[in-house]
Amino acid sequence: MDDDRPLHGIRVLDLTNVLAGPYCSYQLMLLGAEIVKIERPGNGDLARSLGPEPALNRAALGASFLAQNAGKKSVELDLKDTGDRTVFESLVHEADVLLENFRAGVLDRLGYGWEVLHRLNPRLIYCAISGFGQTGPMRHAPAYDQIIQGLSGMMSVTGTPDTAPLRVGFPVSDTVGGLVAALSISAALAGRTRTGKGVALDVSMLETSLSAMGWAMSNYLVSGVPPEPMGDQNATAAPSGTFHAADGPLNIAANRQEQFETLCRLIGRPDLATDERFAEREARKQHRAALNDEIDTALRRRPAGEWETLLAAAGVPAARILTVAQAAQLDQLRDRGFFTDLEFPAHPGRTLRVSGNGVLVDGVPMRPPAPPPLLGEHNAEFKEVAAP
């Protein structure tokens, strides 16, 4: 399968650490690229020390690192060391992509800004991921995911009027930044087949987060209506949000008129579809609280799982609200091969399970070909070949 993956034959020098950059290169790896992870000697990616198991953190195999670095190769290089710089430049000459997520200007101060890299390899795709981009008054400011969530307005619309602002429960700005970077790199590689030249890509996590906010941003830009926190309700439609069955919560998104009418019939309340408060889309939004109360009362007659099966079969989007542990056990994910079990690095007998990317190519899931690397595991493979 490796030879058939779309990015087979593409080599990426990955100078990133923690999440946004490693997530980007993990997506490229799953699609077939060879990822050569350049790490600081003796320390490596900061994510190697991040995770819930102290013993793994001490062994430079923290869960945060293991989750995003399977299938990559690790080479230790000190870009301030003359010998290592020679090796690095040799690798740049042979690479297709160089990916970094330093603060703006850091790589340039090390002597490897875009002009230098382009001179070493005119076909190189250079991608820099940072909190705010390589230009503008905030370009040098430090940024983590939570900083970006706050500045983007994302936290202001998360939660209820009483609880907002709230951080989204996973590093969504890091993730979105990594995805946009992977998309941009893939597009640049496609463009290079036409032009023969590399390009510099400047990815801002702040801007990618704003771009991903959908109606929360578009309603303001187009109509001047600032979004407000609505908890688990959807501002664009009703009934659309979280409801309460006999044994727990249930998400329902009856966003179209026919879905609403079907919902009313299946919960035994066809009268709701003709009630003047609820008959039309805008009226339902205006009387959201009253409609939700009526639906909740009807839903309490059955467990959430039964409603999920009944409603989904009739074309009404509905599903239980699961924990992360429950979601990981879904038969749907097992059927599509979303998870891959690998040999755990330096822990014989222990299995490492990692996520895929949700893409099947010709019906085949994209899987990492190897476990995450130990720090410097591939030094000999690359340093000896590149040495003068």
Active site residues: 174
Instruction: Determine the Cα–Cα distance for residues 321 and 65; give it in Å rounded to an integer.
Output: 28
**Alpha-carbon separation of residue 139 from 115, 132, 216 (angstroms):** 19, 5, 25
Q: Check if the beta carbon of residue 312 is closer than 8 Å to that of residue 254.
A: no
Report CA 30 to chain centroid distance, whole Å. Answer: 14
DSSP state of 155: G
**Interior angle at CA 166, CA 161 and CA 169, nearest 5:** 135
Instruction: Decide: residue 96, CB within 10 A, 0-12 exposed, 13-18 middle, 19+ buried.
Output: buried
Instruction: Determine the Cα–Cα distance for residues 169 and 190; give it in Å rounded to an integer.
Output: 35
Name the maximum alpha-carbon separation found in the chain: 81
**SS3 assignment for 95-107:** CCEEEECCCCCHH
Rg (CA), the chain: 25
Q: Please report the beta strands in 210-308, taking only residues with DSSP state E, as ranges in sequence order.
A: 240-244, 249-253
Q: Which residues share a beta bridge with 253?
A: 240
Q: Please report the beta strands in 118-215, taking only residues with DSSP state E, as ranges in sequence order.
A: 125-130, 200-204
